[in-house]
Amino acid sequence: MKLPWRDRDGQTRPPGLPADFEMPKAQQPATLVMPDGEHLPARIAGNQGSDLLVHAMVRLGQGLTPDRLQRMVLEIADGKGVIRLGGTVTLEDGEQLRFADLRSIDVLQRREYFRVKAARQVLVTLEGSSASLESYSVDLSGGGMLLGGLDHVRVGEQIGFRLITERGGAQISGTGRVVRSDPGGRRAICFDSISDGDRRRLIKFLFECQRDERRKGLRVEGSDGR
């Protein structure tokens, strides 16, 4: 009998997933995508064998029929992109879901998750508050950003954000979660929810930044000192 594949930590990986996929760790942020397209914040609770346990950050009990459960999609960022998972989904209580028979639906284009250095104003609201805090981006990607000026915000806290890419331009907004802090007090944010339109605008902005950097590099390399 063929033994199940296991990742570096000895955890079982279901056969329907990509060869480089590693089962997410407990407390890792995730997003539940409902059949109507609504995005709900979630967190990995752990795994039992090849089943993945997911804790929703909102209560799911009312109106969640078996059909809606089976059409639910789980999105997990792995640092290179976002993998979208489906499977046999059961509701174990009002907030915890079990994903069994996991299968990969698709992987969002990984080129969308390259990171560029870009200092831009970001307005942040903390969960349960309507007041905006002024912050700034250190770098940006299609799946998250590194922010300065939020030393007092705890890891694990959910935030709302409005990214201002250019003065007078449309703001890019959504929600995210603080996944880590660095020794300088900066906070890494993983996006929980961002509209398709805003994500496209963000990706376009990232490519423009990357193109500008390449042009600067070419000018430096081609300079003859005159």
Largest CA distance in the chain: 72
| Same-domain check for residues 146 and 167 | yes
| Same-domain check for residues 203 and 116 | yes
Q: In whole numbers, what is the pLDDT of the chain averaged over residues?
A: 78
Domain count, the chain: 2
pLDDT band for 39, please (50, 70, 90 cuts).
confident
Pair of tokens at residue 152: 């007092």
Dihedral sign, Cα of residue 16, residue 191, residue 10, residue 51: negative
Are 141 and 116 in contact by the 8 Å Cβ rule? The answer is yes
Mean pLDDT lowest among 111-120, 149-158, 172-181, 201-210: 111-120
Residue 210, domain extent: 112-220
| Same-domain check for residues 99 and 155 | no
What's this model's pTM, rounded to 2 decimal places? 0.51
pLDDT tens, position by position, 78-106:
555 677 888 899 988 778 899 998 887 66
| Same-domain check for residues 159 and 201 | yes
Whether pLDDT at 208 is above 60? yes
Mean pLDDT lowest among 41-45, 83-87, 110-114, 161-165: 110-114
What pLDDT, on a 0 to 100 scale, did the predictor assign at position 137? 94
For residue 153, give the 3-state DSSP assignment: coil
Q: How many residues does the chain have?
A: 226
Q: Is residue 104 part of a domain?
A: yes
Pair of tokens at residue 66: 């078996």
| Same-domain check for residues 134 and 156 | yes
Give the residue with greater pLDDT, 27 vs 113.
27
- For residue 153, the domain's CATH number is 2.40.10.220
Are 209 and 116 in contact by the 8 Å Cβ rule? The answer is yes
The number of beta carbons lying within 10 Å of the beta carbon of residue 96 is 15
Q: Is residue 158 part of a domain?
A: yes
The number of beta carbons lying within 10 Å of the beta carbon of residue 226 is 3
Whether pLDDT at 74 is above 60? yes
The CA angle 220-112-108, to the nearest 5 degrees, is 160
| Same-domain check for residues 73 and 99 | yes
- Comparing C-alpha atoms, which of 36, 104, 103 is closest to residue 68? 36
Question: CA–CA separation, 174 vs 172, rounded Å?
Answer: 7
Domain boundary residue among 108, 132, 163? 108
Q: Is residue 23 part of a domain?
A: no
What pLDDT, on a 0 to 100 scale, did the predictor assign at position 122? 95
| Same-domain check for residues 159 and 195 | yes
